[in-house]
Chain A
Amino acid sequence: MITLIRIELYKIFKKWRTYIGFMVIAVIVPVINFAMLAEGEKSLDFMTRNLQQSFVFVGNLLNGYLISYFILTSLAVHIPFLIALVAGDLLAGEATAGTYRLLITRPVARIKIVTSKFIAGLIYSNLLVLWLAVMSLGIGILIFGVGELIVIKSSGIIIFAKNDIIWRFIFAYGFAGLSMTVVTALAFFFSSLVENAIGPIVSTMAVIIVFLILSALPIDFFRNIEPYLFTTYMSSWRNLFEDPVDYQAFIKAIAVLSLHIIILFTITAWIFKRKDILT
Chain B
Amino acid sequence: MKNILIFILFTSVSLAQSVKPEDILEKVKNNFSRVNDYEVRVNIKVDVNFLKVPETRAKIFYKKPDKIQLKSEGFALLPKEGLDFSPYSFLEGDYTAIFDKENVIGGNPCYLLKIIPLGDKGDLILSTLWIDKNKYVIRKIESTTKSNGTFTIDLKYDNDFKYPLPSSMVFTFNVQKMQMPKEITGDMTDETNEEKDKQNKSRTTTGKVYINYSDYKVNSGLPDSLFTHEKK
Contact = CB atoms under 8 A, between A and B. Distances in A.
Interface stretch (A8-16, A132-140, A158-166, A251-259): A158-166
A47 interface: yes
A147 B75 contact: yes
Interface stretch (B32-40, B78-86, B219-227): B78-86
A155 B184 contact: no
A152 B50 CA distance: 10
A162 to B, nearest CB: 6
Question: Which residue among A58, A147, A158 has the maximum number of chain B CB atoms within 10 Å of its CB?
Answer: A58
Interface centre among B71, B177, B190 (most CB of A within 10 A): B190
A148 B185 contact: no
Contact of B78 (A57, A152, A164): A57
Contacts of A154: 180, 182, 185, 187, 191
A53 B70 CA distance: 17
Contacts of B148: 53-54
A58 B76 contact: yes
A54 B76 contact: no
A172 interface: no
A224 interface: no
Interface string B176-200: 1111101011111011000000010
A216 interface: yes
B178 A156 contact: yes
Given A47-B180, A152-B184, A158-B52, A53 B77 contact: no
A157 B58 contact: no
A56 B178 contact: no
A254 B50 CA distance: 28
Given A55-B80, A58-B71, A161-B74, A156 B51 contact: yes
Contacts of A73: 186
A148 B173 CA distance: 24
B9 interface: no
A157 B50 contact: yes
Contacts of A54: 79-80, 148, 173, 175
Nearest to A149: B75
A218 B182 CA distance: 14
Contacts of B70: 56, 58
Contacts of B71: 58
A39 interface: no
Contacts of B118: none
B228 interface: no
B53 interface: yes
A51 interface: yes
A50 interface: yes
Interface string B51-62: 111100010000
Say which size band chain A's interface belongs to.
20 to 34
Contacts of B53: 159
Interface string A28-54: 000000000000000000010011011
A216 B75 contact: no
A156 B78 contact: no
Contact of B80 (A56, A59, A60, A157): A56
A156 B49 contact: yes
B72 interface: yes
Nearest to A218: B190
B147 A53 contact: yes
A54 B74 CA distance: 20
Contacts of B76: 57-59
A208 to B, nearest CB: 14
A61 interface: yes
Q: Which of B52, B75, B185 has the most CB of A within 10 A?
A: B75
Interface string A174-192: 0000000000000000000
Contact of A58 (B75, B186, B187, B199): B75
Interface in B71-105: 71-72, 74-80, 83
Interface of A: 47, 50-51, 53-61, 73-74, 147-148, 152-162, 164, 215-216, 218, 223, 238, 243
23 contacts: A47-B180, A50-B176, A50-B178, A50-B179, A51-B77, A53-B176, A54-B79, A55-B80, A56-B79, A59-B76, A74-B186, A148-B74, A152-B178, A152-B180, A152-B185, A153-B180, A155-B50, A156-B50, A160-B54, A161-B75, A162-B74, A238-B186, A243-B52
User: 4 tightest CB-CB pairs across the interface, nearest first?
Assistant: A59-B75, A156-B50, A148-B75, A57-B77
Given A56-B79, A56-B80, 12 more contacts: A50-B179, A51-B77, A53-B147, A54-B79, A57-B75, A57-B76, A57-B77, A58-B70, A59-B72, A73-B186, A159-B52, A164-B54
